[in-house]
């Protein structure tokens, strides 16, 4: 298989047109077309149908796309593999984390992991959950931590557990001492919400009535918690995602509805770092359980 043909195929899938795919490869359109034709001829398969200037992926192309991404990731990793062999240094443990739990769970776990494994380099990449799917398909990571289900099928994640959604309020707020809260209790308190593209916001909009229109909307939970910490209102939160440095100034009060979010991790299985990935996963599990236990009590 020609890597150039493979890359043209991936770029057409991502760009939608042969022209833009050719530009990314610095090829003429005719040269890019020949590379794509070679791939189709080699495996006797039709990958695209034409609709005016756009190329429409066939079912075979959709099925092949994640495999092509994985193959290209391995090819692109080869220079780094050989460079590390020459330097005789350890491969970094590449951790991919959803933004929501990076500060509250993943960074504290990295700190604990560094004490137990001081010689293991770590590389952390943080992104919004809606961007995780394509990143996961590229397989340029050793361990991915996210809310479940993962945004890619055919993966078998390890469950960390589920956390109950609470209401985050400034610790000095009059409602912070309540044992439970409802929409009626929060009338008049500004609502700090995640934007409508997030899974959590869609869950809340579907399951919760009577909250009113948000006073503030943000794209990540860490921003919502900081606004709560500054006394601007309330937000939905869970003990695992709350930033440790904000915990002293924020109270988490149980919500009247039992709404939960499950989290987990997936190990990609790269031989050089698989042992370290599983060791890091064990730390994640322990810290997750500790944080959940602290919030719910014995």
| Model pTM score | 0.71
Its domain, for residue 240, covers 166-258
Regarding beta strands 192-194 and 122-127, do their DSSP bridges make them parallel or antiparallel, or are they unpaired?
unpaired
Last residue of a domain, one of 85, 117, 140: 85
CB 291, CB 241: distance < 8 Å: no
Q: Tell me the CATH number at 148.
A: 3.40.190.10
Q: How far apart are CA 118 and CA 147, in angstroms?
A: 28
* Same domain membership, residue 177 and residue 32: no
Low-confidence ranges of the chain (pLDDT < 70): 80-89, 294-298
* Same domain membership, residue 98 and residue 81: no
Q: How far apart are CA 69 and CA 77, in angstroms?
A: 12
What is the number of other CB atoms lying within 10 angstroms of the CB of residue 53?
9
Last residue of a domain, one of 44, 66, 85: 85
* Same domain membership, residue 189 and residue 219: yes
* Same domain membership, residue 216 and residue 281: no
Total of domains in the chain: 3
* Same domain membership, residue 193 and residue 65: no
* Same domain membership, residue 43 and residue 55: yes
* Alpha-carbon torsion, ordered 126, 128, 130, 134, to 10 deg: -20
The alpha-helical segments, DSSP class H, found in the chain are 3-15, 18-25, 29-43, 59-87, 99-101, 107-116, 129-138, 199-207, 221-229, 274-296
* Same domain membership, residue 231 and residue 96: no
52-111 pLDDT tens trace: 778 889 989 888 888 888 788 778 877 766 666 555 467 899 999 999 999 999 999 999
CB 124, CB 93: distance < 8 Å: no
DSSP assigned state of 106: I
* CA dihedral (83, 85, 88, 90) positive or negative: positive
* Same domain membership, residue 279 and residue 205: no
Residue whose tokens read 């557990």: 161
Q: Tell me the CATH number at 20.
A: 1.10.10.10
* Same domain membership, residue 48 and residue 103: no
pLDDT, residue 49, reads 87
* Same domain membership, residue 145 and residue 61: no
* Same domain membership, residue 193 and residue 62: no
* Same domain membership, residue 75 and residue 63: yes
CB 171, CB 250: distance < 8 Å: yes
């Amino acid at each position: 298989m020609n890597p150039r043909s493979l890359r043209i195929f991936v770029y057409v899938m991502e760009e939608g047109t042969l022209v833009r795919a050719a530009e990314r490869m610095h090829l003429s359109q005719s040269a890019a077309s020949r590379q794509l034709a070679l791939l189709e001829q080699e495996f006797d398969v039709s990958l695209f149908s034409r609709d005016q200037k756009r190329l429409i992926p066939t079912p075979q192309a959709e099925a092949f796309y994640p495999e092509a991404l994985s193959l290209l990731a391995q090819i692109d990793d080869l220079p780094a593999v050989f460079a590390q062999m020459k330097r005789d240094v350890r491969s970094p443990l590449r951790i991919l984390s959803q933004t929501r739990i990076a500060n509250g769970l993943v960074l504290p776990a990295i700190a604990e992991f560094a004490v137990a494994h001081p010689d293991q380099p770590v590389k952390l990449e943080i992104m919004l959950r809606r961007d995780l799917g394509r990143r996961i398909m590229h397989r340029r990571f050793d361990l991915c931590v996210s809310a479940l289900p993962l945004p890619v099928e055919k993966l078998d994640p390890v469950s960390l557990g589920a956390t109950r959604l609470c209401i985050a309020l400034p610790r000095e707020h009059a409602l912070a001492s309540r044992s439970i809260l409802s929409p009626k209790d929060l009338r008049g308190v500004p609502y700090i919400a995640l934007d409508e593209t997030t899974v959590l916001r869609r869950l809340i909009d579907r399951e919760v009535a009577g909250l009113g229109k948000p006073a503030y909307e943000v794209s990540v939970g860490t921003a919502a918690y900081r606004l709560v910490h500054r006394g601007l209102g309330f937000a939905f939160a869970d003990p695992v995602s709350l930033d440790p440095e904000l915990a002293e100034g924020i109270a988490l009060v149980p919500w009247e509805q039992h709404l939960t979010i499950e989290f987990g991790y997936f190990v990609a299985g790269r031989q050089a770092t698989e042992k370290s990935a599983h060791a890091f996963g064990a730390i994640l599990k322990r810290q997750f359980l500790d944080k959940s236990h602290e919030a719910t009590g014995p």
